[in-house]
Amino acid sequence: MATPASLEEDSQGAALAWPDHAREVLAQNGYRLGGARAAVITALAEHGCAASAAELHGAARAEGADLGLASVYRALELLEELGVAKRVELGERGARFEAIGPLGDHHHHMVCESCGTVEPFEDGDLEQALTTAAQRQGFTPLAHEVVFQGRCGSCGPGEDA
């Protein structure tokens, strides 16, 4: 837990940022790195948290990549399958995606109903409670997702609008 979650040591001991990690995993599993996948990896790394497919598509095109939206979906599906990206449902229309750190970087989301911001957060105690709850139910969790809908610190607990 002392190492930043976005970095890992590869077999030579060099630090790898997430894009490198993702590319390495692709290669290790026999997948090629075309323009679309490379662009999606870059876009995912730069967006940070909970990006929609359309946002990633737009970001990639803004950086000069010429890729189709379908390829974005295909790349995201593959990255998720390989465990380097994650699909997140925030209760809005459409799914969102984000990079998963090689060390199991893990966070959840708060969606502010007032300003629409999606904020990530980590909470060790919450993770512990989640694990305990799953055990109590005799469930073996492979993944879990927590989403808060409410009002963020900036918008305060005040009334609507």
User: Binding DNA by CB under 7 A: which of 17, 49, 69, 155?
Assistant: 69
Residue 107 touching a copy of itself (CB under 8 A): no
Other C-beta atoms closer than 10 Å to the C-beta of 59 total 19
Residue ranges in 80-99 that form contacts with DNA under rule CB under 7 A: 93-95
Specify whether the backbone of 101 is left (phi greater than 0), alpha (psi in -120 to 50) or beta. beta
Residue 48 sits at φ, ψ, to 5 deg, of 95, -70
Q: Does 77 bind a copy of itself (CB under 8 A)?
A: no
Residue from 14, 48, 63, 70 in contact with DNA (CB under 7 A): 70
SS3 94: coil
Give the shortest CB-43-to-DNA separation in angstroms. 12
* Side chain identity, residue 109: H
Element (H, E) at 133: helix 124-136
**Phi/psi of residue 133, each to 5°?**
-60, -40
Residue 14 lies near DNA (rule: CB under 7 A): no
User: Total binding residues for DNA by CB under 7 A?
Assistant: 26
What does 1 interact with, of a copy of itself, DNA, none (CB < 5 to 8 A by kind)? none
Binding residues for a copy of itself, rule: CB under 8 A, are: 87, 89-91, 110, 112-113, 119, 121, 123, 125-126, 128-130, 132-134, 136-153, 156-157
